[in-house]
Structure 1
Amino acid sequence: MDFESANMDMTSKIYSLIRDKKYQQAINVLSFQNQSQPRCRPTLSLLAYCYYHAQDFTQAADCYEQLVQISPEIDDYKFAFGQSLYKCGLNEEALRVLNQIEQPSLMNNVRKLQAAICYALDDVKSCQSYIDQCNDDDPDTVVNTGCVLYKEGKYDEALKYFTKAQQLGGYNPKVWYNIALCYYELKQYAQAVQHLGAIVEKGIKEYPELSIGMQTEGIDITSVGNTNTLQESTLVEAFNLRAAIEFILKNYVAAREALTDMPPRNVNELDMITLHNLAIMNMEEDATGGFEKLTFLISSEGFPRETFVNLCLLYLKYEYYDFAADLLAENTDLTFKYMEPYIYEFIEAKIVQQTAPEAAFKKFEELAGTLIEQLRRLVKEVQENRRSQKDEQVKKKVQEYDATLEKYVPVLMAQANIYWLQENYAAVEKIFRKSVEFCNDNEIWKLNVNKI
């Protein structure tokens, strides 16, 4: 009886720890039991659950793999194994495990997870195929359809689906974040900030233990860790997007404050997007640290797609042309995957400029010519749509024009810089005069014209 009583006490203790979300303490107890009785299914099942919720997905996957081997007839273990592999970034392996599941009651969740994996792999066609097999009355189907539209660059359409999901399911921070993300891509920053503000306000009320804003106030706070609570709150994503918006609007102090407002974590606990943003937004104060963070990221699996381009452009800004050339030469796969042709041609021309200014000028001239053609075409399309009173099309074409102008101005400045370094100021003035029809309202253009 004493042995049975001790077992009951131990079981009660473990479930109490899990109930209170003290997963690491539960893992310590369960690990000892697992060593005493290896491959005991109940112990392994609880251990896998705790590892997963403690964000240790590698250990969770290892436990679930053992459970699949012990009980191959239980598809729930296969699903949990596939989910853990997905969280580890082992997408192909996860798909192979999920394809073995046959239990009908699990299939809707299996399809949703398969869709998420294909989304992560940029396989939009397969992702949509899995979504089409999901239950129509599942709110996640609406959200997932919006995600596919977002990935395809159809931000207006994606916004409609996320808004519908919000209306169907009520407040959900992840859905609100997706809405903010669409507004961000549409350059409607005020609406994006409004939705992000709602996430933060809700987070402050519901999760006081996450110490939101304490770092900015200068209060010394210990790390809150990468808990499930932090993930559910979507606060990290919200603060990162808020920082990006403030940075675009040139509110650099506010951008840095957005990063320090987020729940505190140790450096080794930071996600890749936060690490990227910390590097970018603190380059003026700590360029060395910024370059260290960015070079670390591009050597890591699953880094943010902006990282590679931003590192190249920062090498140019700080005149590390050899580093930029080496980065392109050593990562041709990343160049084709993450760089628009325009960006690649611009970077290549800047590198060439260091040894062959005339050849670089020709490259910039060709690039400028292509962009000027696009600007003139867009001006014509704006005028035609205005005459036809197609307001939505006018808005869309104006946004395209602004985006193209943002590409054109750096090319123009690079051309002018070549003549400026040669002290050929008449040629510099001629270049600026040629661009006046497009750039007379551009602040960077006006600033440089005033220097001549």
Structure 2
Amino acid sequence: MFQTNFGIHNIKDGEYTQTIYTMIKEQRYPEAIQVLNRIIISHPNSRAALSLLAYCHYATQDFASSAHYYDTLTQICPDDAQYKVHHAQALYQACMYEDALRVTSQIDKPELQGQVTKLRAAIKYGEEDLAGAKGLVDSCPADDPDTEINLGCLLYKEGRYEDALQKFTQALQVIGFDPHLSYNAALCHFKLKEHTAAQKYIANIIERGIKDHPELSVGMATEGIEVRSVGNTLTLHDTALVEAFNLKAAIEYQLKNFEAAQEALTDMPPRSEEELDAVTLHNQALMNIDTKTTEGFEKLQFLLQQNPFPPETFGNLLLLYCKYEYFDLAADVLAENAHLTYKYLTPYLFDFLDALIMQQTSPEDAYNKFDELASKHTETLRKLTKQVQEARQSQDDEMVKKAVTDYEEVLERYVPVLMAQAKIYWDMENYQQVEKIFRKSVEFCNDNDTWKLNVAHVLFMQESKFKEATGFYEPIVKKHYDKILNVSAIVLANLCVSYIMTSQNEEAEELMRKIEKEEEQLAYEDPDKKVFHLCIVNLVIGTLYCAKGNYEFGISRIIRSLEPFHKKLGVDTWFYAKRCFLSLIENLAKQIIVAKDSFLEECIQFLEQCEAYGENVKTIADQPMEDGSINWGQKTVAFEARHLKALILKLQNY
């Protein structure tokens, strides 16, 4: 945050009606702009009207329009250097750095040189010419708090977060509380992974914002209160509330508190979508991608076309394309934006994305590339392990902290490579090879939750290692036992099956009672919310019995699990249910099994209920990049249930 000053310049009281001044004082800038536009039509060279109009556009963060009107003013009043300063500042805010520098070079008033030097430093900073920016900052007075702040910004850009933090805290001690300066300090703590310290600064910014500006409606949208947009006013900018809530969301997201992260975004002062800043748009897209996938991709694609855009946008868009297996789109984006690759992708991330895209056409080459990446990471992890041990022996707390932080950062990069490598064999259903890959990484990953969960899955899928799978699933479930619905339903289901297959039926029943109790409590608190945990557990257990040939017991359990139908029918639950019915029908058609008429009647009645309640329930998830080729009329539970019922009736008539 480079320090710059801005305000209304050279407007005399009484030149315009009190109405316009009242609008500006009350920050009703859009209304003021409408009135001023009408005045400009009849008085195109009115200095006062143009100055107010430029100021209002700047206040609403329409910097390009503001720059246009200040440019006009510099032509009307070529001797007024302050207009040139404002013109340069508007150009700088619009990221038109070359034009902004050109305008600053035309300002020769000695009394404005301090302000111009700061502005030129900010422009150089925006251009990422850090050496040029530092040279200008060093020429500023050492006792000016802005100099300390700007040096902190340069240190932050260089990745020297501790040194930057020291500069910001020193400046805070001199000038007192400042929202943007407090945000800078919070950001440094965030980069240092000192989340508690960052959250203290954020809480202070939010508390001050709520206390001083209740009109900004903080938190009302989350509470379900309909409020109008507060707009992009100078007051909103001065409070740093938008920045604070975005950082709060980022911290919660890193801590995997996804609901809290989404809530932080809805807590910020309400604005219409066209008024949102780039960082908020990016965070909304990222944190709601699972529920609003299409919208999320649209926002990230839109941001990529803006200048500037949040640096994380490019990498996140590519990673999300790969996550949803749109590898061709990821390859296209990489090819079309080659100029962004070196600026926004680290060598590791580029190689990782390249391998992910490559596995679609050449799994063997992709595996080798992942293996090469994994080898580099394991070598680094071993070196860092040694550094941690040496730091602990020397009892140097700072060195230990740094070594551990470096180790965790490398591990965060290693685990995705390992999972992508293992997935190649997982897709081939070669689970033994997947297990071998995981065993090679136990040295580094034995405390990593993602690693433990995937080891559990691969042991479970081998159908002969349920006891070992239980040993990995249990700690994950027990960690969240007080809030068991926070655990993925499939993890709970697999643990129950593992218990049953190892004759631990009492443990399975106890776990299911716990799930049922929490679901009942949730249904009491929020009757309209759909919860599928116990349903999916029962479906998986039912599927297990069907796989063992006990269709009557297995399907009866599946039928009971989907009651009441209006709450339990969904994409996932129907997938498990129909799979068992298709297996039953196949074995009946091949005359491998014989079913009682009463059992078949029970199946028909169940399918009729699914037909009645499943008219609007889709059988496949929405496709984010849908090309329109899917016939959604045939992709409903009602359609498929009717088809299954017809097949059973046909078999009965043979």
Deviates further, 384-393 or 234-243: 384-393
Note closer, same or farther for the CA distance 1:19–1:423 as it changes in structure 2 (3 Å cut). closer
Whether the aligned pair in 1 keeps the contact of 2:363 and 2:424 (CA below 8 Å) is yes
State the identity as a percent. Answer: 55
Following superposition, the deviation at residue 45 of structure 1 comes to: 2.6
RMSD between aligned alpha carbons?
1.6
Do residues 89 (structure 1) and 89 (structure 2) align?
A: no
Q: 1:162 aligns with which of 146, 150, 168?
A: 168
How many Å separate the matches in 2 of 1:9 and 1:433? 79
Match for residue 208 of structure 1 among 194, 204, 214: 214
Partner of 1:112: 118
1:23-422 counterparts in 2 under 5 A? 23-422=29-428
Q: Cα deviations across residues 321-352 of structure 1 (Å, max 9, x unaligned)?
A: 11111111111111111001111111111111
Q: Report how far residue 75 of structure 1 moved.
A: 1.3
Contact 2:60 2:231 in 1 (8 A): no
Larger Rg: 2
What amino acid does structure 2 have at the position aligned with 1:121? E
Displacement of 1:99 in angstroms is 1.5
Q: Tell me if structure 1 keeps the 8 A contact 2:63–2:91.
A: yes
What is the Cα deviation at residue 13 of structure 1? 4.3
CA deviation vs aligned residue, 1:224-260 (integer Å, no higher than 9, x gap): 0000010001000000110111111111111110000
Structure 1: unaligned runs, 5 residues or longer: 1-6
In the TM superposition, residue 426 of structure 1 has moved relative to its aligned partner by 2.5
Aligned AA (1:431): I
Q: Name the aligned partner's letter for residue 300 of structure 1.
A: Q
Length-normalised TM-score, structure 2: 0.66
* CA distance 1:17–1:105, shift in 2 (3 Å): same
Alignment length, in residue pairs? Answer: 446
Q: Deviations over 1:287-329 (max 9, x none)?
A: 1111111111111111101011001111111111111111111
Deviations 1:138-195 (A, max 9, x none): 2111111111111110011111011001100000010111111011001111111111
SS in 1 for 2:265: helix
The one-letter code of the counterpart of 1:321 is F
Compared CA separation, residues 415 and 76, structure 1 to 2 (3 A):
same
1:28 positional shift? 3.5
What amino acid is the match of 1:136? A
CA distance in structure 2 between the partners assigned to 1:13 and 1:425 by the alignment: 75
Paired residue for 2:628?
none
Report SS of the residue matched to 2:220: coil
Give 1:16 shift.
4.2
TM-fit CA distance, 1:77: 1.1
Alpha-carbon distance between aligned partners in 1 of 2:178 and 2:346, rounded to the nearest angstrom = 34
Paired with 2:101 and 2:16, the residues of 1 have a C-alpha distance of 37
Cα deviations by residue, 1:349-371 (Å, 9 ceiling, x for unpaired): 11111121111111011111111
Q: Deviations over 1:73-125 (max 9, x none)?
A: 22111101101111222111101101111112111111111111221221111
* Cα pair 2:219 2:267 within 8 Å, conserved: yes
What's the counterpart of residue 4 of structure 1? none
Q: Give me the whole-angstrom Cα distance separating, in 2, the residues matched to 1:434 and 1:317.
A: 25
Task: Find the aligned partners of 2:406 and 2:14 in 1 and give their Cα distance.
Answer: 67
Q: 1:45 to 1:252 in 2, by over 3 A?
A: same
1:441 alignment partner, SS class = coil
Q: Is the alpha carbon distance of 1:376 and 1:23 closer, same or farther for their aligned partners in structure 2, counting shifts above 3 Å?
A: same
Once the two structures are superposed, residues 194-214 of structure 1 have per-residue CA deviations (whole angstroms, 9 ceiling, x without a partner) of 110111111110010000000
Structure 1 position 57, deviation (Å): 2.2
Separation in structure 1 between the aligned mates of residue 408 and residue 239 of structure 2, nearest angstrom: 35
CA–CA separation in structure 2 for the residues paired with 1:15 and 1:352: 62
Looking at structure 2, the residues matched to 33 and 294 of structure 1 have their Cα atoms a distance apart, in angstroms, of: 40
Residue equivalent to 2:431: 425
CA distance in 1, matches of 2:229, 2:292: 23
Task: State the 1:50 CA deviation.
Answer: 3.0
Q: Is the 8 A contact 2:63 2:90 kept in 1?
A: yes
Seen in structure 2, the aligned counterparts of structure 1 residues 12 and 395 have a Cα distance that, compared at 3 Å, is: same
Deviation, 1:9, is: 7.7
Letter of the 2:430 counterpart: N
* Alignment match, 1:3: none
> Structure 2, unaligned stretches of length 5 or more?
1-12, 460-654
Contact 2:15 2:48 in 1 (8 A): no
Instruction: Give the whole-Å Cα distance in 2 for the aligned partners of 1:185 and 1:59.
Output: 35
Larger RCO (CA within 8 A; separation ≥ 6): 1
Change (3 A) 1:43 1:289: closer
- In the superposition, the TM-score normalised over structure 1's length comes to 0.95
Question: What residue identity is the alignment partner of 1:365?
Answer: D
